[in-house]
Amino acid sequence: MQVAVLPGDGIGLEIVPQAVKVLKVLERPGLKFDFTEAPVGGTAIDLFGNPLPEETLAVVRASGAILFGAVGDPKFDHLPQDKKPGFALRKMRQEFGLFSNLRPVTLFDALKDASSLKPEIIAGLDLLIIRELNGDIYYGTPRGITIEDGERVGTNTMRYTESQIERIAHVAFQAARTRRGKVCSIDKSNVLETMGLWREVVTAVGKQYPDVALTHQLVDSAAMMLVRNPTQFDVMLTPNLFGDILSDQASMLTGSIGLLPSASMGEGKFGLYEPIHGSAPDLAGKNMANPIATILSAAMMLRHSFDLPAEADRVEAAVLKALTDGLRTGDIARKGDSVSGTREAGDIIVNALN
Ligand code: IPM
Ligand code: MG
């Protein structure tokens, strides 16, 4: 199994090695991982002057999956968008046609007191956010800053084609069939034409899935429902920008953004696996970050890219066991808990695997 390991910046450099450590424990006769590390984001700008250098793309092209950390470094804030660390992610999603971003939001029972919401509101929470990843304001043109009438004007364009909406809608309906059979599609069709088209196309695709219950929710009201009654949601289908925002919000229901994995997929098995959180420059280099989101992302990689569901289950069970036995990194610790560092948390999960 060829894995491109792209730790990126900040805490990415600390959490990704923990996931690699976990994957190595799974090796057995007939199952071997071949890890090739490559720079991305700010680290790549420092080395090559480019957030996604050709050298890194070559490593990725030779791999079956990408294990990704995080990108972003405030020292590059002054650069134009297509030179900043985050561009690497936007470019890679486009270059490899990764249009479908799966962000499962599940509550670990052991952490029900770590959430900022009351335990009775989040009990049983099991939500899958399916975020479109190749369209919307992230890629639409025109974009940029121009001068008009002597002042600067910033422009970005929300744009979706019917076929982009159709293919992500199919992903959501198919996922719902393996779950509780419900899709809630998010838009802002009361104000935006693009989002009116989104609602129309999702509704049309939904006709092919009469066994799945489809509802629509405006994004503002969905943000409210997510904290009022989050367990009503099964699959939440979102455009790119709204999914970015709602998935950070949803992560807090589980106690910490440091727990949430994601998979970015195209039509085939190739995928990019990353925690949904960022590079957290304030935590970087302190052995304080929670590696669980990255370790769970590696589990998604085993399941979706390498057809190793039993190994994926094993990793998830080990995380569950470690948390149940009391593993707490700083983000999920409460007063009086003993707090583990990043490396120690990785070791505890490795032990739970054995
Ligand atoms: C995410 C991140 C990225 C995004 C950034 C780093 C470009 O926030 O994956 O959620 O906005 O998509
Ligand atoms: Mg985000």
91: number of Cβ within 10 Å: 14
pLDDT of 116 > 90? The answer is: no
242 and 273 housed in the same domain = no
Residue 122 three-state SS: helix
Q: Closest ligand 1 atom, CA of 248? A: 10
Q: What is the pLDDT of residues 207-228, one digit of tens each?
A: 999 999 999 999 999 999 999 9
Q: Is residue 330 part of a domain?
A: yes
Closest ligand relative to 101 C-alpha = 1
Q: Is residue 107 part of a domain?
A: no
End position of a domain, from candidates 254, 285, 300: 254
Cα 273 to ligand 1 centroid, rounded to whole Å = 13
127 and 196 housed in the same domain = yes
Average pLDDT, the chain: 96
3 and 40 housed in the same domain = yes
12 and 94 housed in the same domain = yes
Q: Is residue 104 part of a domain?
A: no
- How, if at all, do strands 100-106 and 261-265 pair? antiparallel
Cα 248 to ligand 2 centroid, rounded to whole Å = 6
Cα 244 to ligand 1 centroid, rounded to whole Å = 7
Q: Is residue 109 part of a domain?
A: no
| Cβ contact 135:240 at 8 Å | yes
173 and 303 housed in the same domain = no
Cα 243 to ligand 2 centroid, rounded to whole Å = 8
56 and 135 housed in the same domain = no
Distance (Å, whole) CA 194 – CA 294: 34
Specify the pLDDT at position 109: 87
45: number of Cβ within 10 Å: 25
Specify the pLDDT at position 311: 97
65 and 159 housed in the same domain = no
Closest ligand relative to 89 C-alpha = 1
Q: Closest ligand 1 atom, CA of 90? A: 7
Nearest CA to ligand 1 atom 6: 86
Q: What angle do CA 22, 25, 27 make, to 5 degrees?
A: 125
| Cβ contact 247:129 at 8 Å | yes
Cα 280 to ligand 1 centroid, rounded to whole Å = 13
When divided into structural domains, the chain yields a total of 2
End position of a domain, from candidates 254, 289, 304: 254
Domain of residue 119: give its range.
115-254
Q: Is residue 90 part of a domain?
A: yes
Nearest CA to ligand 1 atom 12: 244
What are the catalytic residues?
Answer: 138, 188, 220, 244, 248
End position of a domain, from candidates 205, 220, 254: 254
Q: Is residue 106 part of a domain?
A: no
Looking up residue 78, the CATH number of its domain turns out to be 3.40.718.10
Specify the pLDDT at position 113: 83
Closest ligand relative to 136 C-alpha = 1
Q: What is the pLDDT of residues 226-277, one digit of tens each?
A: 999 999 999 999 999 999 999 999 988 998 889 999 999 999 999 999 999 9
123 and 239 housed in the same domain = yes
Summarize the confidence of residues 95-99 as an average pLDDT: 97
Q: What percent of the chain shows pLDDT beyond 90?
A: 94
Distance (Å, whole) CA 339 – CA 125: 25
Q: Closest ligand 1 atom, CA of 89? A: 7
How many C-alpha atoms does 165 have within 13 Å on its Cβ side? 23
* Pocket lining: 276 vs ligand 1, CB cutoff 6 Å: yes
Any residues with CB less than 8 A from the CB of 275 and at least 6 apart, and which?
15, 69, 70, 258, 260, 261, 262, 293, 294, 297
120 and 92 housed in the same domain = no
Q: Is residue 108 part of a domain?
A: no
* Pocket lining: 12 vs ligand 1, CB cutoff 6 Å: no
Q: Is residue 197 part of a domain?
A: yes
120 and 237 housed in the same domain = yes
54 and 143 housed in the same domain = no
**Helices marked H in 126-192 — which ranges?**
162-177
* Pocket lining: 86 vs ligand 1, CB cutoff 6 Å: yes
Specify the pLDDT at position 72: 97
